[in-house]
Amino acid sequence: MALYSKRRIVALTGVLAVALTATACGSSDDDGGGDSTSGGNSSIDCAPYKAFGDLSGKTVSVYTSITAPEDAPHQASYKPFEDCTGVTIKYEGSKEFEAQLPVRVKGGNAPDIAYLPQPGLLKTLVATGAVKEAPPETVANVDKNMPDWKQYGTVDDKFYGAALGANVKSYVWYSPQAFKDKGYEVPKTWAELLALSDKIVADNADGAVKPWCAGIESGDATGWPATDWIEDVLLRTAGPETYDKWVNHEIPFNDPAVATALAEVGKILKNDKYVNGGFGDVKTIASTSFQDAGQPILDGECYMHRQANFYGANFPEGTKIGPDGDVWAFYLPSVDESTKPVLTAGEFVAAFADRPEVKAFQTYLASVEWANERAKTCGPNGGCVVANKNADPNLLKGEVDKLSATILTDEAATSRFDASDLMPGAVGSGTFWKGMTNWITGTDDKATLDYIENSWPKS
Amino acid sequence: MTSHVLVGVAGAIPEPLLRAQSVAGKFFLMFFAIALFAVVFGLVLLIASLFKGKTGERFQGVLFAGPAVLLLAVGLMYPAILTIIQSFRGKSGEGSFSVENYQQMFTEPELLLVLRNTAIWVILVPFIATGVGLVYAILIDRARGEAFSKALIFLPMAISMVGASIIWKFVYQYKQTSRPQIGLLNAILKALGFETQQFLINAPLNTFMLIIVMVWIQAGFAMTVLSAAIKAIPDEILEAAKLDGVQAFKMFRFITLPSIRPALVVVITTIGIGTLKVFDIVRTMTGGQFDTSVVANEFYNQSFRYDAGGLGAALAVLLFVLVIPIVVYNIFQMRKEA
């Protein structure tokens, strides 16, 4: 019986606890909400955002793949908006973004806003029905500021995602000083590029220094730098029309045109004489991280490294980037000088909520004001080029950023978006990456292209 | 009853509490959760105390088991059934009924490779780890510095799989032969005058290099359990055998091994189940690239990266099916002993 009475006491304690907690709950409820009523002292014109009503005290959550150290400058660019509206932007960056976002969306825990680096992912998410269409105010900004990018944010004739940051991928990083010392000229055509590579091989008969260094290791995303190679070359050897057909699967993935491009890439990446300066043989490309891959340029162990504008951030602190600096980038030459295809990439703003504060923030991100603020608050690593063509390029601080902005707005250039980002996720961020990785470690051209073609989702 | 209370209480919680942002708020949420647990527990006890007598005890049993069964049903059974259903509904897991996923799993060369790798893991890891642990346990048994020797091999158990993988990634690090080596293994190769190797890239060697990491972690577990079992062998038996003049090997074969058989079974099956689920090592060290993927890793890739939830579910079901015989065998063995 003693046992029973003891149980009663425990039970009573429990009931008491619930009563206490309930009171505690009630009191905490009252001081919820916020009291920040600001809006006066912003550096931009607040009128466009006043139209969304009184937003002070509201919160917008943002989920991105942009992590430290690039995240802080990004958040700094939201300040004028926050000052205008009193909205708090809650920023969360994750390296597991691509895998986690669909899980969060499916689990009913979607962020208000996500920056999608792949239009293919946007398509997948739109299919789940969770993505909200962009509000008319945002669409107006997009039409005015980035009409060329609108198609990538559009799914089934409905517009969802405004472009945000932009990248130029068709760059070859090199050391201007090393080129000058050896009397090498920046190549203007593809043939000149290969001739220069041969010349570097001939000049370094012992094989210790090689013309190219490359690396495609990138954790979960291993393989993507190799997909950029084939895309860049396909744009040059087959032209933009074929490229578009390839992206949309109007021609098979293993089309002869693609095979030609891959063979051309193989002349460099699978040539033990050309690669892999500073690291070893061809296979080391698969295990070298893309961050490390271009570093041998600084040590004089390799001369060229093909990688996007954002690669500049990976050089050690104090490295001078510029035409007369320690490293600089030249445009990956086309077959001849008559065409100038450019491979681009970027992020897109997808909204999973249509509350007024979310719409207002979407509109801000598509505005010239944001683009300029982004350039002004840009961190030391650069990478602040935006898709917005009306942004003031003179505000950009980095030399590469300036060059990229010039290339993006160049009328003579033909831009195409990164194909792997446009293809269905199973291919673009799956078998294409994996296939190219296996290609580096030994699979032949035909088997690689057939493997990827077979993985293309039926239906 | 309990679920009703839970839902009722949860409904009354103001939203900011569940989405607490501040440190104080999070602590409050924690205390609230603990209090809630106490309340539910208290209620169960209170109600249980109302029943008395023989039939009352039966009610009490149901009442005490109730919350656990409920949580298992919601957290384990329900998702498991959903996964099985999903695996039969096409690549995305949302289509109509088909066995396409299973068909693909056993015909596509890439997935067959994954199955082959998993088989290699499951065959090698439990036996090598147990073997190493057993030999070690016997060698150090009653030797000088036993505690220290044990601690030495048990230490890896304290390191997380990801941590161990990162350590071993450094051990396997590749640099050209002509350069200074930072990877231990290649440094040794170079010192002995051999060419340095890309251990994590060259298939099928790389799968075995990953297996070594798992063995390194699990051998300590095997050693500890087996050492305890060896110590539990009654001294009389050992003495009797010694008096009969039994040689060392025969002593091991006919005395030690039969005596620790139950412990051996537990160790092998436990490591076997752990190996079937291996994910961290593969994902951290190679990401499943270079022909090293295993079922758990491929399940993750298919489900969360390739947008093929159905195929991912099928792989998860396969894991489930493979684990069942081991668990059943384990239970039978334990029944036999009991």
Mean per-residue pLDDT over chain A, rounded: 86
Q: Do B305 and A219 touch (CB under 8 A)?
A: no
Chain B: give the shortest CA distance to residue A88, in Å. 13
pLDDT value at A42 more than 80: no
- Convert the pLDDT of each residue in B121-141 to its tens digit: 999 999 999 999 999 998 888
pLDDT band per the 50, 70, 90 thresholds, residue A35: very low
Q: Quote the pLDDT of residue B218.
A: 92
Give chain A's domains with CATH numbers. Answer: 47-167+344-411 (3.40.190.10), 171-331+424-454 (3.40.190.10)
- Convert the pLDDT of each residue in B49-77 to its tens digit: 888 777 778 888 888 888 889 999 999 99
A39-43, A133-137, A139-143, B175-179: which range is least confident on average?
Answer: A39-43
Read off the pTM.
0.79
- CA dist B36 and A14 (Å) reads 8
- The H or E element spanning position B114 is helix B109-140
B46 touching chain A per CB within 8 A = yes
- Give which of A268, A144, A135 is closest to A194, Cα–Cα: A268
- The H or E element spanning position A347 is strand A341-351
Kindly list the residues from chain A whose CB atom is less than 8 angstroms away from the CB atom of residue B178. 208
- CA dist A2 and A32 (Å) reads 46
B6 touching chain A per CB within 8 A = no
pLDDT value at A2 more than 90: no
Q: Do A287 and B174 touch (CB under 8 A)?
A: yes
Kindly list the residues from chain A whose CB atom is less than 8 angstroms away from the CB atom of residue B308. 426
Window 52-81 of A, Cβ < 8 Å to B: none
Q: Do B28 and A4 touch (CB under 8 A)?
A: no
Cβ atoms of A444 and A239 closer than 8 Å: no
Kindly list the residues from chain A whose CB atom is less than 8 angstroms away from the CB atom of residue B42. 10-15, 17
Regarding predicted confidence, which is higher, B188 or A381?
B188
Kindly list the residues from chain B whose CB atom is less than 8 angstroms away from the CB atom of residue A426. 306-308
Chain B: give the shortest CA distance to residue A429, in Å. 7
pLDDT band per the 50, 70, 90 thresholds, residue A337: confident
Kindly list the residues from chain A whose CB atom is less than 8 angstroms away from the CB atom of residue B36. 18, 21
Amino acid found at A278: G
Q: Do B304 and A219 touch (CB under 8 A)?
A: no
- Convert the pLDDT of each residue in A171-187 to its tens digit: 999 999 999 999 999 99
Q: Centre a 10 Å sphere on the Cβ of residue A9 and count the other Cβ atoms it contains.
A: 11
Q: Quote the pLDDT of residue B17.
A: 67
Q: Do B35 and A103 touch (CB under 8 A)?
A: no
Between vectors from CA B311 to CA B307 and to CA B313, what angle results, nearest 5°?
Answer: 100
Total beta-carbon pairs less than 8 A apart between chain A and chain B = 113
- CA dist B288 and B295 (Å) reads 10
A279 touching chain B per CB within 8 A = yes
Chain A: give the shortest CA distance to residue B37, in Å. 9
Nearest-Cα residue of chain B relative to residue A283: B201
Mapping DSSP to helix (H, G, I), strand (E, B) and coil, where does residue A137 land? helix
Cβ atoms of A234 and A257 closer than 8 Å: yes
Nearest-Cα residue of chain A relative to residue B291: A438
C-alpha to C-alpha distances, A26 to A23, A270, B37, nearest whole angstrom: 5, 68, 19
Q: Do B39 and A280 touch (CB under 8 A)?
A: no
Q: Quote the pLDDT of residue B145.
A: 85
- Give which of A163, A276, A158 is closest to A214, Cα–Cα: A276
End-to-end alpha-carbon separation of chain B, Å?
36
Task: Give strand pairing partners of A59.
Answer: A88
Chain A: give the shortest CA distance to residue B34, in Å. 10
Which residues fall within 8 angstroms of residue B69, CB to CB, at 6 or more apart? none
Q: Quote the pLDDT of residue A148.
A: 87
Q: Which residue has the tokens 């994954």?
A: B114
Give chain B's domains with CATH numbers. Answer: 2-87 (no CATH), 107-337 (1.10.3720.10)
Cβ atoms of A250 and A423 closer than 8 Å: no
Please tell me whether the peptide bond between A276 and the residue prior to it is cis, using omega within 30 degrees of 0.
Answer: yes
pLDDT value at A16 more than 80: no
Write the DSSP assignment of B84-108 as a string of letters.
HHHHTSTTTSSSSS--HHHHHHTT-
Kindly list the residues from chain B whose CB atom is less than 8 angstroms away from the CB atom of residue A437. 289-290
B24 touching chain A per CB within 8 A = no
Q: Centre a 10 Å sphere on the Cβ of residue B67 and count the other Cβ atoms it contains.
A: 17
What phi, psi does A328 have (nearest 5°)? -155, 170
Between vectors from CA A294 to CA B173 and to CA A315, what angle results, nearest 5°?
Answer: 100
Q: Do A103 and B38 touch (CB under 8 A)?
A: no
Q: Which residue has the tokens 């147990």?
A: B130
- CA dist B199 and B185 (Å) reads 9
Q: Centre a 10 Å sphere on the Cβ of residue B169 and count the other Cβ atoms it contains.
A: 16
In chain A, % of residues over pLDDT 90 = 56
Q: Quote the pLDDT of residue A1.
A: 40
Window 156-215 of A, Cβ < 8 Å to B: 208
Q: Quote the pLDDT of residue A399.
A: 87
Chain A: give the shortest CA distance to residue B16, in Å. 7
Residue to test with chain A: of B27, B46, B170, most A Cβ within 10 A: B46
Kindly list the residues from chain B whose CB atom is less than 8 angstroms away from the CB atom of residue A10. 41-42, 45
- Give which of B320, A175, A38 is closest to A186, Cα–Cα: A175
Kindly list the residues from chain A whose CB atom is less than 8 angstroms away from the CB atom of residue B49. 4, 7-8, 11
Q: Do B39 and A279 touch (CB under 8 A)?
A: no
Residue to test with chain A: of B63, B176, B178, B286, most A Cβ within 10 A: B176
Chain B: give the shortest CA distance to residue A224, in Å. 13
Regarding predicted confidence, which is higher, B7 or A125?
A125
Say which of A18, A28, A434 has its CB closest to residue B35: A18
Kindly list the residues from chain B whose CB atom is less than 8 angstroms away from the CB atom of residue A287. 174, 198, 200-201
Q: Quote the pLDDT of residue B24.
A: 81
Say which of B32, B36, B304 has its CB closest to residue A102: B304
